[in-house]
Amino acid sequence: MGDGWTEFRTSLPALPSGTALVRAVTKTLPGGDRLLVGRDISDLDGFMAQIRAAGIAVVVLIIGLAAAASIGVTRRTVGRIESINATSRAIMLSGLDQRIPLHGSHDEWDRVAENLNLMLDRIQTLMGDVKQVSENIAHDLRTPLTRMRGRLEKAYHAPRNGEGDAALIGDTIADLDAVLGMFASITRISEIETRARKGAFRTVNLVEIAGEVVELYDAAAEEVTTHLDLAGDPAVLVTGDRDLLFDAIANLVDNAIKHGRPGGRVTVTCDNDEGEAVISVADDGPGIPAEQHDRVFKRFYRLEQSRYTPGNGLGLSLVAAVASLHGARIELRDNAPGLLCRLVFPPAEV
């Protein structure tokens, strides 16, 4: 290798210094190996120029594609935003029945439109509930307020009479108490729905609470010759507010007695069912049509046959609020005949 390397070394100074041309030289080394010494620099410059031109072309192409993509995305985005704006303007002008159109692409914009439409559905439902509540309040307040005004007008034009005035005052106070009780119930339901009552949660026995309710309403059941009894397990534990649970069970029992069959039976049952605590109130009255099961828990909602029964339509609303606060679910079933209402609670926290 020494002779070949010496010849390669001695050949370099013979090349012109700084020349633009270097001949491609290969030298056979001992052993048959060939060594590439150089190539034409002019070819290399041309190759580099082609690379630079190709690089510039690629950059221009990328910039062009990026600009086209940006314009497309921008136009698409502006179009979807304008669709949402147009729907918003239509809602402001005509009402909540308008919805944002979906393109069926299932992309982010479609998901945004779906969520906005669901929000509009919820708002429309709430507005409908507010309208219904307003109409029911007006209906339920009209009667006692009309009676009070009639009594007061009659007393105003009639000569003073001690006994008559006392009776009038007593009746007026009773009507006012009913109105105030209605508003107190609304306030209490709102308080429960905002979960402001969890500070009193303890482990309680539903059987004991149900027993107190049955004892309280036993006299009311006897007045309409209804048999009221308690059945089930001896201990059913839940975690909750004892007073609120008492009120919920009392409302269910009160409804069962009022709307059940005169001379019928109302049964309160407490059970442990596969780890869940269940209390049910069953009657053998006319029951509730299946299509109205969800409506009866709305405030002031009353069935047509219950319009002339004492009450204000807030009892089941309170039951629903208490159940929601305790993480329980309400089930209404056909008791064939009558209605079976179940409150199903999660297991007690130990």
148-160: per-residue pLDDT in tens? 888 888 777 778 7
Q: Give the pair of three-digit tokens for residue 188.
A: 């209490």
CA distance 27 to 25: 7
Q: Which residue from 83, 86, 89, 91 is spatially nearest to 109, judged by alpha carbons?
A: 83
- Is 70 exceeded by the pLDDT of residue 26? no
What is the per-residue pLDDT for 8?
Answer: 43
- Is 80 exceeded by the pLDDT of residue 135? no
For residues 60-89, average pLDDT: 81
Q: Are 259 and 224 in contact (CB under 8 A)?
A: no
- Is 60 exceeded by the pLDDT of residue 5? no
Buried b / exposed e along 224-254 (16+ C-beta atoms within 10 A): eebebeeebeeebbbbbbbebbbbbbbbbbb
CA distance 128 to 132: 6
pLDDT band at 197 (very low <50, low <70, confident <90, very high): low
pTM for the complete prediction?
0.58
Q: Give the pair of three-digit tokens for residue 30.
A: 């001992």
% the chain with pLDDT above 70: 81
% the chain with pLDDT above 90: 12
Residues 6 or more apart whose CB falls under 8 angstroms from that of 97 comprise 124
CA distance 226 to 260: 9
pLDDT band at 145 (very low <50, low <70, confident <90, very high): confident
Q: Does 2 or 273 have the greater pLDDT score?
A: 273
- Is 50 exceeded by the pLDDT of residue 323? yes
Please state, as a whole number, how many other Cβ atoms lie within 10 Å of the Cβ of residue 342: 19
pLDDT band at 162 (very low <50, low <70, confident <90, very high): confident
Torsion of CA 103, 106, 110, 115, to 10 degrees: 140
For residues 132-141, average pLDDT: 72
- Is 70 exceeded by the pLDDT of residue 95? yes
CA distance 132 to 302: 11
What is the bridge-based pairing of β-strands 26-28 and 34-36?
antiparallel
- Partnered with residue 273 across adjacent β-strands are 276
What is the per-residue pLDDT for 36?
Answer: 46
- Is 60 exceeded by the pLDDT of residue 235? yes
Q: Does 350 or 11 have the greater pLDDT score?
A: 350
Q: Which residue from 192, 164, 158, 126 is spatially nearest to 325, judged by alpha carbons?
A: 192
What is the per-residue pLDDT for 310?
Answer: 57
Least reliable range by pLDDT among 12-26, 160-174, 328-342: 12-26
- Is 90 exceeded by the pLDDT of residue 130? no
What is the per-residue pLDDT for 38?
Answer: 47
- Residue position matching structure tokens 């009773």: 174
What is the per-residue pLDDT for 100?
Answer: 80
What is the per-residue pLDDT for 341?
Answer: 92
Q: Amino acid identity, residue 23? A: R
Burial (0-12, 13-18, 19+ Cβ within 10 Å), 319: buried
Q: Are 182 and 313 in contact (CB under 8 A)?
A: no
Summary mean pLDDT of the chain: 78
pLDDT band at 245 (very low <50, low <70, confident <90, very high): very high
Burial (0-12, 13-18, 19+ Cβ within 10 Å), 138: exposed
What is the per-residue pLDDT for 278?
Answer: 92
What is the bridge-based pairing of β-strands 276-283 and 265-273?
antiparallel
Q: Give the pair of three-digit tokens for residue 266.
A: 């109302």
- Is 90 exceeded by the pLDDT of residue 213? yes
DSSP 213: H
Q: Are 240 and 345 in contact (CB under 8 A)?
A: yes
Least reliable range by pLDDT among 19-28, 29-38, 42-51, 226-235: 19-28
